[in-house]
Amino acid sequence: MKKIAVINDISGFGKCSLTAALPIISALGMQCCPVPTAVLSHQTGYNSYHCIDLTAELDAYLKEWYSCGESFDAILTGYMTSCEQADIILKAVDRLKNDCTLVVVDPVMADDGTLYKTYSKELCRKVIRLAKKANVITPNLTELCILARLSYKSTTAKSAEDSYFEYIAEAARTLLSENLETVIVTGVKKGNTVCDIAVGKDSFSVSQSELIGGSFSGTGDLFASIVCAELTRGMSMAYSVELATRFIEKAIRDTVKEGTDRNDGIAFEKHLEMLINE
């Protein structure tokens, strides 16, 4: 059975991070090996939450993996609590990967043009360093602008133009390198649609769905987990992104019908069969 190491927090409420990755990767027939960066009562979008930062425990946790010679088919990273923790994760990625390991980084930093309240500029610089170690990254549009040093306001001002997706693709392409092969820009809004744009050196595809109900907690984690697992299974990038888009679209439709608060995440559990039957 293939193994994916997932470095992320775990939140009691919000259906995000490890609580999203564990069922998704398991449903797709792989072992999800968690490296918990923090334990939160609720994800950070709620008005109140308690966070237990696990930075002080990470070295000892990971040293056990190193001493056992654990290796992974893929590594997926997400939320980080501090610069100190980011430094540990940067080293961990180097120690845990081999020449065949797929590294997928969700460069969590910001959304809707604003840094998350728990992220400093220094921490963002660490995330950018981590993104450069990846084979695939899954930024939202705000994070793409940070990575590509673009103005979010100026970028979104182009959303009515026919060439909007091409503009985003060109920005994403500037990040590509010998090891960073694909940038997938998630949740790009244009009119009444929301799109995921996958950009490679010589490729560019758009997976589009209807914009329903606004933004929900955990969709980025679900998306990155599906894409990472499908690529690890040997599926194509275009197929992996399309599957993730369709899965999240179905779950959001149910969530909106139920009137669920955006912080509570989406009703993805009832659609796991869609992945199990893969």
The pLDDT of residue 106: 96
The pLDDT of residue 9: 95
At 172-210, the pLDDT tens digits run 999 999 999 999 999 999 988 999 999 999 888 999 988
Give yes or no for a contact between 137 and 183, defined as CB atoms under 8 angstroms apart.
yes
The pLDDT of residue 215: 82
Report residue 41's pLDDT band, with 50, 70 and 90 as the boundaries: very high
Does residue 87 surpass a pLDDT of 80?
A: yes
Q: Residue 275: in which H helix or E strand, if any? A: helix 273-276
* DSSP of 219-274: HHHHHHHHHHHHHHTT--HHHHHHHHHHHHHHHHHHHHHHT--GGG----GGGTHH
Name every residue whose Cβ is closer than 8 Å to that of residue 151 and which is 6 or more positions away in sequence.
Answer: 145
Name every residue whose Cβ is closer than 8 Å to that of residue 106 and which is 6 or more positions away in sequence.
Answer: 76, 77, 78, 137, 138, 139, 220, 221, 224
Q: Is the dihedral of CA 252, 161, 238, 169 positive or negative?
A: negative
Report residue 116's pLDDT band, with 50, 70 and 90 as the boundaries: confident
For helices 55-67 and 83-96, give the axis angle rounded to 10 degrees.
Answer: 10
Mean pLDDT of the chain: 94
Does residue 213 surpass a pLDDT of 80?
A: no
Q: Residue 185: in which H helix or E strand, if any? A: strand 182-190
In what side-by-side order are the strands of the sheet with 193-200? Answer: 51-53, 31-42, 3-13, 74-77, 102-105, 136-137, 182-190, 193-200, 204-210
Report residue 129's pLDDT band, with 50, 70 and 90 as the boundaries: very high
Give yes or no for a contact between 55 and 82, defined as CB atoms under 8 angstroms apart.
yes
Q: Can you give the pTM of this predicted structure?
A: 0.94
Does residue 73 surpass a pLDDT of 80?
A: yes
Report residue 214's pLDDT band, with 50, 70 and 90 as the boundaries: confident
DSSP 118: T
DSSP 210: E
Q: How many helices (H) and strands (E) does the chain have?
A: 10, 11
Bridge partners of residue 52, in order along the sequence: 39
